[in-house]
Structure 1
Amino acid sequence: MSRCRALMISAPASGQGKTTLTAALARRARQQGLRVRVFKTGADFLDPMLLEAASGAPVHQLDLWMCGEAQCRHLLAEAAREAELILVEGVMGLYDGEPSSADLAQCFDLPVLALIEAGAMAQTFAALAHGLRSFRTGLRFHGVFANGVGSAAHAQLLQDALPADLPLCGWLAHAAELSLPQRHLGLVQARELPDLDRRLDALARALQALPAFDTLPLLDFTAPAAPAQHAMLENLRIGIARDEAFAFVYPANPELLQAMGARLSEFSPLHDAGLPQVDALYLPGGYPELHASRLARNTALLTALREHHARGKPLLAECGGMMLLCEQLVDADHQAHPMAGLLPARALMQPRLQALSLQSLALPDGELRGHSFHYSTLQTRQPAARQARTAQNQPGEAVFQTRGLTASYLHFYLPSCPPAAASLFRPCAAAH
């Protein structure tokens, strides 16, 4: 059994500043000398990058559908063994989705801190806070936090409107310099912000009237020992694309591949002229559309990808990784850029979001779960080998498979089914 203080940061909706507050709390805790671990609820890559920079430790996903309760329990117990404080950033609004952030909090008895954007509110702030707390019984509710506050007097007005048993746990003033920059998929990647540490330190300093972390309850996090992974990828060499254009990888994915015996090496489709000596490749999602001209000019790397595929070697390409393998990528300015051409397809950027959902894929070795989130569409002559299903059992993304290649808009959470994950990287994947 591991005991640790913990807190979930949620809100009535997206866009309230959950990531900003969670990052500020994590950095404040570190400044106080606490060992802190942060988790992100749901499918997300960009928020965890910021939270990792704030906390100094990898940020894993907690999702009752995609990861499963047992995996979530194992991750929390593992974190509690090494940390003094666990912070969990919720997803969307507190009660949104199935399962919701509230479901996760209730499953693990996490106290909830409700963050409300209060810049344009007065007493209605209290009504919203009261509704969030009372909507469901059995939820451990820690208090409420105000974001976008105009002044100390405004904060006092908000506090005075709250019921006596619903505390205002702190507030953050409205200030442009405290905001984190965004683009079409969400926050700008942490590695693209050279002043990120300065921003995080400023956020931590800006937290007002925050109670001590030791007022949080100590929770018991227990989990059975994680099952040992069979050496399904013993000594298999896997190259993973990692750079500014390809960075959307759940931390649990490479951890699982290594646990199954794989030897991993990273390469950059933007900067490297060739591939490492590998048996299989993993091309995750990211922002290839922002770097399309540079990717197109790296003809040596594109040729190496074609040669890898021609030899029938396994290659998993997710979302942005699949776009790299198309014949063309048409960016937001309608400029067409030649890509590797492993798929007879064109990826076209669109002005609006095209898909957002949790999905699963049935494979011969089991069901892999993950999510879809993209702004581009695919025009292709290639027939789909398989089709994913949404969490609501509706038709999902097409999955293309040919000569060891598996490509789709899906971002897989590989620990959801280790045998199926291993099958995508073993040489026999071509038979699938």
Structure 2
Amino acid sequence: MSKAFLIAAPWSNSGKTTLTLGMSRWYSNQGNIVQTFKCGPDYIDTIHHSTAARRPAVNLDTVMMSEEHVKTVFERYSTSADISIIEGVMGLFDGAVKDQGSSAAIAKLLDIPVILVVNASAMAYTIAPILHGLKTFDPEVKIAGVIFNFVKTESHYAFLKEACDTVGVQSLGYIPPNEEIAIPSRHLGLHIDDTFENSIEKAASHIATHISLPTLLECTKVIPKIDKEAPAIITSKKKYKIAIAKDEAFTFTYLENLKWLEAIGELVYFSPIHDQELPEADMIYLAGGYPELYLEALSNNVLMKGRLKAAADHGTKILAECGGMMYLGNTIIDEEGKEYDMVGIFPFSTSMQNKKLSLGYRKVVYNELEIWGHEFHYSKMLNDDNIPVVGQVFSAREKEVTSKIYQHKNVYASYIHLYWAALEEAVDLCI
């Protein structure tokens, strides 16, 4: 049998990610096959998860995906694992619209118990009404236990445990603060080096020292374990050759998108930073990432930029998202105002100066196809007024937004990270 649970919190910055990474590594170190999932569209936490659990992590999202697709994906990966850990997003009931896409929505859909992690550094018995509200707000969301984070003393924990006893929620213990297990910033956290590995191992040890992780498994859901994967979502008679950018600068991909591409074609990977030759392909996929951290290397690789420009002019299908789109423009301007030449397929530039966050779910309507995605960036677009655009883009609240999908011949580029894995008809979009 396999065990499954979801780690959630009343609010952000409670330590969900650190707890998920530490638990995943500890259970893996005990010889278990650990499968991690991330609620929502985050493609950075899944990189961390994959490292900690030693197995690729998967997104579950009831905004970008149908409920049936979420169930299928969860079954596909969880039934071959010993332990499945889902990390929630933001607060337990925080969604795109009310609780749509929230951790609670995923827990209900999959009938998975919730383990709450609470930042209790500045809280005592007042946690009781908060826990009571979380427990009773939606009875279909099953809170199996709570872990108190950033608690320094046993005397402090005594107040918190009394609150749990009052409310009827099982307390699973407390974790003292430890600066050595802090996860690096969003940029630095992508560099999976010895320092990052040490942080995960220290998190595993620290958590296991204070929380009985074998006991925690008694709060989880038992699901049948199956040794074979569920059938693929899509099958295709025709095979394509698909070239995917993958290196330090381009890393933000959804695992199921790649699996979907595998079902319709042969995948080959290339590096816009290090390679000088572009693989022959029917379609080129440039996912998002952090090109702004590698501007000099990207700009200096003149041969690769020329190969991509020639492919676009020749009519090769190219799909570029966020960082990939920035790379296809004329230039990228760094925070200090220095300008770096890029591929030049599009005449726009993107700037990292005067950064402002653009964030949210996006629904793209294009040629009668509706496809969901997510936008998350700090850069801004310059000189894009006269570039052809296609489709319409809406927010999760069905309001049309200013995000654009740019087109040049068979090149389509936007800030939006699309999720096409649930749509068989998306073949026309990708190929």
Alignment TM-score, normalising by the size of structure 1: 0.91
Within 5 A, what are the aligned runs for 1:296-315? Answer: 296-315=299-318
1:412 is matched with 418
1:19 is matched with 17
2:37 is aligned with 1:39: yes
Q: Distance in 1 between matches of 2:112 and 2:69?
A: 16
SS at match of 2:404: strand
Which 10-residue stretch deviates more, 123-132 or 401-410?
A: 123-132
2:57 is aligned with 1:59: yes
Query: Per-residue CA shift, 1:347-389, capped at 9, x if unaligned?
Result: 0125444321111212336222111111111121313222321
Q: Distance in 2 between matches of 1:63 and 1:318?
A: 19
Query: Per-residue CA shift, 1:244-265, capped at 9, x if unaligned?
Result: 11000001111101112x1111
Q: Given the superposition, is the C-alpha separation of residues 20 and 228 from structure 1 closer, same or farther in structure 2, using an over 3 Å criterion? A: closer
**Counterpart contact for 2:189–2:196, Cα < 8 Å:** no
Q: Given the superposition, is the C-alpha separation of residues 314 and 365 from structure 1 closer, same or farther in structure 2, using an over 3 Å criterion? A: farther
1:249 is matched with 253
Residue identity in the other structure for 2:75? A
Within 5 A, what are the aligned runs for 1:115-194? Answer: 115-164=117-166, 165-182=168-185, 186=186, 188-194=188-194
**Counterpart contact for 2:315–2:409, Cα < 8 Å:** yes
2:426 is aligned with 1:424: no
Q: Distance in 1 between matches of 2:234 and 2:19?
A: 36
2:372 is matched with 369
Q: Given the superposition, is the C-alpha separation of residues 353 and 147 from structure 1 closer, same or farther in structure 2, using an over 3 Å criterion? A: farther
1:105 is matched with 107
1:236 is matched with 240
Which 10-residue stretch deviates more, 43-52 or 327-336?
A: 327-336
1:430 is matched with none
Within 5 A, what are the aligned runs for 1:378-397? Answer: 378-379=381-382, 380=384, 381-396=386-401, 397=403
* Structure 2: runs of 5+ lacking an equivalent: none
**Counterpart contact for 1:169–1:211, Cα < 8 Å:** no
Q: Given the superposition, is the C-alpha separation of residues 60 and 340 from structure 1 closer, same or farther in structure 2, using an over 3 Å criterion? A: same
| Offset, 1:211 | 4.5
Q: Distance in 2 between matches of 1:156 and 1:31?
A: 31
Q: Percent identity?
A: 31
2:329 is aligned with 1:329: no
1:195 is matched with 195
2:271 is matched with 268
**Counterpart contact for 1:38–1:52, Cα < 8 Å:** yes
| Offset, 1:219 | 3.7
Q: Distance in 1 between matches of 2:184 and 2:230?
A: 40
* Structure 1: runs of 5+ lacking an equivalent: 427-432
SS at match of 2:370: strand
2:206 is aligned with 1:206: yes
SS at match of 2:345: coil
**Counterpart contact for 2:60–2:70, Cα < 8 Å:** yes
Structure with bigger strand share is: 1
Q: Distance in 2 between matches of 1:173 and 1:187?
A: 26
SS at match of 1:416: coil
Q: Distance in 2 between matches of 1:65 and 1:173?
A: 35
2:26 is matched with 28
Q: Given the superposition, is the C-alpha separation of residues 373 and 315 from structure 1 closer, same or farther in structure 2, using an over 3 Å criterion? A: same
Residue identity in the other structure for 2:334? D
1:340 is matched with 343
1:88 is matched with 86
Q: Given the superposition, is the C-alpha separation of residues 221 and 327 from structure 1 closer, same or farther in structure 2, using an over 3 Å criterion? A: farther
| Offset, 1:32 | 2.3
2:8 is aligned with 1:10: yes
Residue identity in the other structure for 2:273? L
Q: Distance in 2 between matches of 1:403 and 1:189?
A: 37
Residue identity in the other structure for 2:420? L
| Offset, 1:167 | 1.9
**Counterpart contact for 1:354–1:377, Cα < 8 Å:** no
**Counterpart contact for 1:9–1:22, Cα < 8 Å:** yes
| Offset, 1:227 | 6.2
Residue identity in the other structure for 2:407? Q
Residue identity in the other structure for 1:253? N
**Counterpart contact for 2:80–2:225, Cα < 8 Å:** no
| Offset, 1:333 | 1.8
Q: Distance in 1 between matches of 2:82 and 2:192?
A: 30
Q: Distance in 1 between matches of 2:420 and 2:250?
A: 17
| Offset, 1:70 | 1.2
Query: Per-residue CA shift, 1:177-213, capped at 9, x if unaligned?
Result: 110111xxx3634444332222111101111133524
**Counterpart contact for 1:406–1:424, Cα < 8 Å:** no
| Aligned-pair Cα RMSD in Å | 2.1
SS at match of 1:395: coil
Alignment TM-score, normalising by the size of structure 2: 0.91
